[in-house]
Amino acid sequence: MKNKFDLIIFDWDGTLINSIDWITSCLQHATAQCDCPIPEAQAAKDVIGLSIKKAMQALFPEADKQTREQLVACYSHHYLSKQISKDDLFPGVYEMLVQLNEAGYQLAVATGKTRAGLRQALQATETEDLFCITRCADETASKPDPRMLREIIQYTNAAEDRTLMIGDSIHDLQMALNAHISAIAVSCGAHSEEFLQQYNPLLCLQQPAELLNII
């Protein structure tokens, strides 16, 4: 797989940063605050990667618009209350991103986060300058729609067959399939290897930093 790709697009939560348990907790907290049924942990994890609006709609399809707006606001407030740092990245991720940059790869992020949320995360982890472009769910279509991948590919002038998506959720892998690009899964986030393998990734890694050994 050496020298096969020019552009590497990473999901953020659960792929580069160890945040799945915190997101799950925030989703459960928001539902409790809004007097909605509290989802089981895996049910909450299953919507991570979608935009927060789409996630709440998936969890509570019967809820009215006002209730879902309250859920989103409560989730966002609670999520942003936690200070993160470079230490929250998975082991070896920062060094991996630096090494990939130095090797000449174009790096990007495609995330279900809002722009405000990603901006805060990039600054807190000191990774902002390592990516040539980032796309967020509140400025384009939510996963698994391939639009954000296509926008990144267009911006970088990369070829589809030279582009690789790295993600921890079925939404990441389905988005890659929809965009007709290759994908590698990581099992350290929202979904297990058993679920991820159903979307035919090239490989399924336990940790993202293992990527350095194969490209």
User: Cβ atoms within 10 A of the Cβ of 27, count?
Assistant: 27
Contacts of 136 (CB under 8 A, 6+ apart): 111, 112, 113, 114, 115, 117, 118, 148
Q: Read off the tokens for 9.
A: 């697009």
pLDDT tens digits along 1-20: 778 999 999 999 999 999 99
Amino acid at residue number 30:
A
pLDDT tens digits along 153-180: 999 999 999 999 999 999 999 999 999 9
Give the model's pLDDT for residue 127: 97
Radius of gyration of the chain (CA): 16
Give the model's pLDDT for residue 80: 86
Give the model's pLDDT for residue 196: 96
Amino acid at residue number 44:
A
Amino acid at residue number 132:
C
3-class secondary-structure state, position 198 = helix
DSSP letter string, 133-196: EEEETTSSPPTTSTHHHHHHHHHHT--GGGEEEEESSHHHHHHHHHHT-EEEEESSSSS-HHHH
Say if CB 34 and CB 155 are below 8 A apart: no
One digit per residue, the tens of pLDDT, for the chain of length 215 reads: 778 999 999 999 999 999 999 999 999 999 999 999 999 999 999 999 889 899 999 999 988 989 999 999 999 889 888 899 999 999 999 999 999 999 999 999 999 999 989 999 999 999 999 999 999 999 999 999 999 999 999 999 999 999 999 999 999 999 999 999 999 999 999 999 999 999 999 999 999 999 998 98
Phi, psi (rounded to 5 degrees) for 42: -70, -35
Give the model's pLDDT for residue 12: 97
Quick one: how many helices (H) and strands (E) in the chain? 9, 6
Phi, psi (rounded to 5 degrees) for 43: -65, -40
Q: 41-76 b/e with 16+ CB inside 10 Å = b?
A: eeebbbbbbbbbbbbbbebbeebeeeebebbbebbb
Sheet holding 106-111, edge to edge: 133-136, 106-111, 7-10, 163-167, 182-186, 204-205
pTM: 0.93
